Amino acid sequence: MTILLNEKQQLFADYYIETLNATQSAIKAGYSEKTAYSQGQRLLKHVEIKDYIEGIMEKKDSERIASQDEILEILTKIIRGEETEELYTMSGDKINKKPKISDRLKAIELLGKRYNLFDKDNIDTIPRVVIVNDIPRENKVFESQ
């Protein structure tokens, strides 16, 4: 879907993506300083501008932020010892070091939390016996003879 914006709207949206400040973005895009605040707020509500900004932000986020699958894959590689860390010796030689046991355990903990493996409800325990005395008592009054 192609979003059509005029030149000022495009400039406003691009500046807004950089600064997240509607008033300053409106001024930089060429709107009057006197009306920049109200113009900025109005432009942010404009459907095409809103869609354009959201599209650019989603694209930037997907490029910069690791996806859920990516995180799970890296944690799994750490657990299996497949992910290595590059280290350099004093002489400048490069070595690839496998993760320490503590790093593997932390990765296991994080993955376990993700899949609720350590949740109290998932741990098999001996069931507790609870005795409930819900038998009603009869109130009898003994008469003396």
Q: Give, for all 145 residues of the chain, the pLDDT tens digit.
A: 566 899 999 999 999 999 899 999 999 999 999 999 999 999 999 999 999 999 888 887 777 777 788 888 999 999 999 999 999 989 999 999 999 999 999 999 988 888 888 766 655 556 677 777 777 776 555 555 4
54 and 91 co-located in one domain: no
Residue 56 burial class via C-beta count within 10 angstroms: exposed 0-12, middle 13-18, buried 19 and up: middle
58 and 96 co-located in one domain: no
Predicted pLDDT at 134: 73
47 and 89 co-located in one domain: no
Is residue 54 situated within a structural domain? yes
60 and 100 co-located in one domain: no
Domain that holds residue 92: 68-116
Count up the domains in the chain and report the number: 2
| Integer Cα distance of 104 and 107 in angstroms | 5
- Please state the φ and ψ torsions of residue 6, each to the nearest 5 degrees: -75, 175
Is residue 144 situated within a structural domain? no
Q: Cβ distance 74 to 109 under 8 Å?
A: no
Is residue 128 situated within a structural domain? no
CATH number of the domain encompassing residue 24:
1.10.10.1400
Predicted pLDDT at 68: 83
Is residue 57 situated within a structural domain? yes
Is residue 127 situated within a structural domain? no
Q: Cβ distance 49 to 43 under 8 Å?
A: yes
Q: Given 3-state DSSP classes, what are the helix, strand and coil percentages for the chain, each rounded to the nearest 5? A: 55, 5, 40
Predicted pLDDT at 123: 56
Predicted pLDDT at 140: 55
